[in-house]
Amino acid sequence: LVLLQRLQHPNVIKLMGHCAGEAETGRVTIILEQGAPLQMIQLLQSPWEDRFRVCLDLVRLLHFLSHSPLGSVALLDFQPRQFVTVSGSLKLTDLDDASVAETPCQTHADCRLQFPHRNFTLGCSSRGVCEGLGEKRNIYNAYRYFFTYLLPHQAPPGLTHLVDHIMNSTGELKADINQTLEAFEHVLHLYRSGLHLDDLPPSELTDYTLMPGMAVSGSVDYRCWPSYSQQGCVLSVHSAREAAFICSSHAQCSSFTLTGQRTWTGRLLASFRSSFARLVSDEASEVYVKKTE
């Protein structure tokens, strides 16, 4: 209860209230905002953008914990089951095993982090404590439980070199949490702004006929993976130019529709189709049809 009151952050579950029981029992009931258990298998099947969001939220949380009002906080029981999602945002829900205690040491050998497949030795400071031990523990656990599974797979080609750098720096504990957060925020900036698309071939929009204020009806959808819809091919794009590039790379695609719906990064949702029966009026949508069709 005290930790939830002191560690308030967008990626920590919100404490809504608490009730003290009878004094002799010592029981306290806490009321938390409602979240959904983190489903890693479902996340593995979701678009890269949503998987990146979970990793970014986690890094923002770990940055806060390293500079919290209580000092550097280490999560000793670091498992996906300790987290939930609220409206797509990752939140830490279990603080029972959070520790703010610094590890005393006499030599560097006393500052050893042991994991199932890797060990790291950190420095013993002049104050006689293991400098940054909790922060580094958090970073490596984030790498082995989250980044390894969620971050590299199907990352946009223009961002793969930056994602590889993040994987290397966190997997080898070469970066602190400030540097790690900076790297994640840089990837977000490039992805949100579309700057990672500078190497795309020249715009192929000239191969499409634009029909503004229209939507399609009686469409024949094909499926692609990963898609925001299980019934068709719905992907996030920065612009119509990127959507045209994707449509041209799909042999089945003959048209795509932009409805104005956006993802958490502000990117557009584009629906790709193999054919459709007719056009209908829709002021919020625009349809792009291949001229050869």
Active site residues: 77
| Non-local CB neighbours of 34 within 8 Å, separated by 6+ positions | 86
Closest C-alpha to 54, from 147, 187, 141: 147
Cβ atoms of 268 and 238 within 8 Å: the answer is yes
Cα Rg of the chain, angstroms: 24
DSSP structural state of residue 67? T
Alpha-helical (H) ranges within 143-284 are 148-150, 160-171, 177-193, 240-249
Among 286, 244, 242, 241, residue whose Cα is nearest residue 261: 286
Residue carrying structure tokens 């715009």 = 203
| Distance from C-alpha of 131 to C-alpha of 127, rounded to nearest angstrom | 9
Strands, E, within 55-207: which ranges?
A: 74-75, 83-86, 89-92, 98-99, 112-114, 119-121
Q: Are 225 and 151 in contact (CB under 8 A)?
A: no
CA 43 to chain centre: 10
Contact 226, 234 (CB under 8 A): no
The gap from C-alpha 135 to its chain's centroid, in whole angstroms, comes to 20
Q: What is the distance between the alpha carbons of residues 272 and 280, in angstroms, rounded to a whole number?
A: 17
Kindly report the number of other CB atoms within 10 A of residue 54's CB atom: 23
First CA to last CA across the chain, in angstroms? 63
